[in-house]
Amino acid sequence: MSALDAFDVRGRIDALYVHPVKSCAAVAVDEAVLTPTGLQFDREWMVVDAAGRFVSQRELPRMVLIQPTLAEEALILNAPAQSPCAIHFNQSGDALQVTIWDDVVAAFDMGDAAALWLSDFLGQNVRLVRFDPMHERVCSEKWTATHRATTKFADGYPILVSSVASMDELNTRLHDVGSPAVNALRFRPNIVLSDVAAHDEDLIDVLHIEDERIQLKNVKPCTRCPIPNVDPMSAEIDPMISDVLLTYRRNANMEDQLTFGVNAIVLAGAGLTLRVGQSVGADYVF
């Protein structure tokens, strides 16, 4: 008998995604080390404008065409019609302050070569920065309550959880209005669950993984901007995704905003490894 059998919900990790550079393409991985701030390397780098403020697909949809690769000693950036750009993990740079939403965060500049590469591709003067691990960015205590949690350059929380069934429901509704199916990359999750009902991730409390040694607490529904409308393969924008979500995903508890997926924090298991196929158990909370 498994330690997870007593939970209300039993599922599995269907997919894991790391987003090394905020708002650039995802990296699908079979396993990832869990840290207090989320999956290792997730949102560790960020693109900023000349004023040091973060930029994203909201302003620059072409960012989704930048494909990072995590090599043994470096982050490699690839993009159409561009030679690869390598940023070594031990690379140091000037310390600076950058802004993400309302937070001013300590970071390191990744140098002129990366800045030029990104500026050429995006058509705007930008630079690449890396989160300073000697500083903390604390998540909103309004949602984490008594649990102190930290993150890097994610919008607000270490982990984003979604499910296969939630995507299937969206795609059924898109089909009904004559629109093509989309995949989970539009929603930029870290963990995608299988064998759970559509949007059950909204209703469960703590995810227990690896015989309960890993515990992730769902704390806040993920409100959605227009980024899911950006096709991760072409950077073309199709507002139908938001239009369809508006028909069934308004959340009265979030001032009627669209929500899809749920933000989670790390309660236990930092230093352990998440793997595709691991069993997950959780109880409902209403």
Closest by CA to 58, choosing from 184, 228, 217, 258, is: 228
| Closest by CA position to 77, among listed 32, 120, 31, 114 | 114
DSSP letters spanning 180-234: ----GGGG--SEEEESS-TTGGGTB-EEEETTTTEEEEEEEEEE--SGGGB-TTT
The reported pLDDT for the residue numbered 5 is 79
Residue length of the chain: 286
pLDDT at 270: 97
Residue-wise pLDDT for 226-274, tens only, equals: 999 999 999 999 999 999 999 999 999 999 999 999 999 999 999 999 9
Can you tell me which residue has the tokens 């227990």?
208
Distance separating alpha carbons of residues 82 and 79, to the nearest angstrom: 5
Under-50 pLDDT residues of the chain: none
Q: What percent of the chain has pLDDT over 90?
A: 96
Residues contacting 19, CB < 8 A, separation 6+ = 25, 26, 27, 42, 43, 188, 190
Q: Closest Cα partner for 44 from 63, 16, 24? A: 24
For the chain, the domains span: 9-281
CATH node for 9-281: 2.40.33.20
Look up the pTM and report it: 0.97
Burial of residue 37, with CB atoms counted within 10 A of its CB: 0-12 exposed, 13-18 middle, 19 or more buried: buried
Give the per-residue pLDDT at 177. 97
